[in-house]
Amino acid sequence: MGRILADHSHASPSTGQVPPRRPHRGGRARRTPGRRVRLGVVASLALTLSLAACSSSTAGTTAASTHTAASTGTASPGAASGPVVHRQLVIETGKADGRPGWPRFVPDGFTAPVGTTIVLTIVNHDDGTAPLPPASPWGQVWGSDPTYGAVSGGTEQVDGKTVTSIPNQDVSHTFEIPGLLLNVPIPAASSSTQPVTVVFTFKVLKAGTYQWICAAPCGGGAMGMGGAMAADGWMRGHVTFS
């Protein structure tokens, strides 16, 4: 996520000098020098007033154009200030990638400049839940814990509605970065054809490469922690801020 400012140039005002007149033709009375000077002054005054009116009209247009461009350029999700970058992850089901029981994030990571506001969009096509234990903290939105001073912001929207948590029994996946104390709980899609969209806005203040994981038991095995949960490129990966 620039402003486009209108650029207007104006001609220099008239010097007021009277241009040379054509030679006198026969059959017409020659004007006296005094009258010619008076006419020149009147013409110069009229031209000056015309240019002033034109200049005022153009200046008004310039101000309006500048205001419109500024209003358009400064709008950003989550009322973010400064540079804004957008990243997107898509959660596919195992059926979509030909490996039943192996959901995955696509891509499995991203890079972004440190210090910029990051608007991360996660589109979840998985309509199955992977309920968290009742006492699990991973249903909460984390993203501004002061412990490390490495991340700020941490606001989440689900289909346009701001939330601070997802009920543990409704969680489908999470996008968690333990090294930043950052956690994005993701609810299940409404159906296999109606995905849910999560938008998470945050800012990373310290450069580094961090591992992300899914804390919801969405993999194989008796506890749901095997298979995709333990494999890079599926339910875990890396993000880099530089």
Interacting residues of 98 by C-beta distance below 8 A, sequence separation 6+ = none
Q: What angle do CA 149, 213, 89 make, to 5 degrees?
A: 95
Contacts of 155 (CB under 8 A, 6+ apart): 78, 141, 143, 162, 200, 201, 202
What pLDDT sits at residue 222?
Answer: 86
Q: Which residues of the chain have pLDDT under 70?
A: 1-81
Please determine, looking at this structure, whether the domain spanning 81-241 carries the CATH number 2.60.40.420: yes
SS3 176: strand
Q: Tell me how far apart the alpha carbons of residues 197 and 87 are, in angstroms, rounded to a whole number.
A: 13
Q: Which residues contact 49 (CB under 8 A, 6 or more apart)?
A: none
Q: pTM of this prediction?
A: 0.67
Element (H, E) at 201: strand 196-204
Those residues with Cβ within 8 angstroms of residue 88's Cβ, 6 or more apart along the chain or in another chain? 120, 121, 122, 123
pLDDT of amino acid 192: 83
pLDDT at 97: 78
